Amino acid sequence: MEKNALLEKIIPIRRMLHQYPELEFEEVKTAQIICDVLTKWSVPFQFAVAKTGIVAEIGTGDPVILLRADMDALPVTEATNLPFTSKHEGKMHACGHDIHMSCLLGCIALFCENPPENGRVRFVFQPAEEGAGGAEPMIAEGAAKGISAAAALHVKPGLAVGKIACKPKHYYASPDEFSITVTGKGGHGGYPHMALNPLPIASEIVSVIQALGQAMKDELCVVSVCAINGGTSFNIIPETVTILGTVRTFTPELRLKMEEEIGILAKEICKKYEAKCDYQFRKLYPPVYNEPNLTELLFETGVEVLGKENVERETAPFMGGEDFAYFAKEVPGVLFHLGSGGCAPLHSPEFLAEEECIWYGAKTLEGFARNYLKGEK
């Protein structure tokens, strides 16, 4: 199928997906749109895997390579002024998941036209990537059963359309979260000696944690305090203050070290002022590890499909999180960036992806899967 024909086939579907964004595990209409397309194309599929997920396959026998796209949107109010802007107020495909689904549908269309000579391609439309983690329950319900490799893409604003980028080994971080609730004694702002103000204590904790993060600059680690919540008025000393933040790491050892050190620092400062400290550390996704041999196959495929000048070898990992990591823990996996043009960042209400990138994403996924299956005869 030629570029224009594929885009004419997929872009109307993409625009429909974009107009009806749904949050994690609520992707009912999104799933219905995809199921209707698969039914129309006579592609066998299973629906309601991990509530709203979809698993489709083309081909016969082994091996099986899994290609994954995420489905959920974000609680963001769109400000793009597109003619097909979000019809769901306060929800938007601000992370490009509508493009990811469209690339996978484009890949399916290419395989419908020319099925693999050997083996199978499994197409997974996964709910709840943005925080709740839909990959793990999909795997638990059999989405990854029998596969020997996995791949996925993610749009990258600022990278020109027609390009892809990737690096082997550590790629995306563990996006862990922490909360620290400092409890003092509330009181009147005019009589601070009769209270125990948790705000200055929390401020000291924030300063120490930020210093800890700066001290880790030579490691693959980021520590960020992102919210401080406490107090309601100019003359009332609050009872409690809560600090929220994130830690990004790439190894189990450093992950555990940061969890322990942040807790120790917070508790010691609270103890010094005789305040109470409640510390919680929530481990989210594991880091994404790009298997080196698969990554080289991706680079080779990119050169074949896009040309050498359009394949970038990234040198630094990314501090974002991605639950494709669970698939890449099951089998060798590779996640790569797809150039989507534009300049507004991901998660911005003004985020825009150029629709032409769907062709390049679909062709790269198709070419990668075919090359993998050829090599695994």
pLDDT tens, 5-18? 999 999 999 999 99
The separation between CA 293 and the C-alpha centre of its own chain, rounded to angstroms, equals 23
Short-list 133, 149, 127, 153, CA closest to 55: 127
Burial of 252 (0-12, 13-18, 19+ CB in 10 A): exposed
Burial of 287 (0-12, 13-18, 19+ CB in 10 A): buried
**What is the pLDDT at residue 198?**
98
pLDDT in tens, 361-373: 999 999 999 999 9
Alpha helix stretches (DSSP H) within the chain: 3-19, 28-40, 97-113, 135-140, 198-215, 252-272, 292-306, 325-330, 357-375
* Residue corresponding to tokens 């070290």: 257
**What is the pLDDT at residue 342?**
86
User: Which two three-digit tokens encode residue 375?
Assistant: 């090599």
d(CA 8, CA 35): 19
**What is the pLDDT at residue 293?**
97
Residues in the chain, pLDDT under 70: 218, 376-377
**Per-position DSSP letters for 47-63, written without gaps between them:** EEETTTEEEEEEEESS-
| Residue 245 to residues 34, 181, 203, Cα–Cα distance (Å) | 36, 12, 13
**What is the pLDDT at residue 213?**
80
Strand (E) or helix (H) holding 280: strand 276-282
Residue 312: how many other CB atoms lie within 10 Å: 19
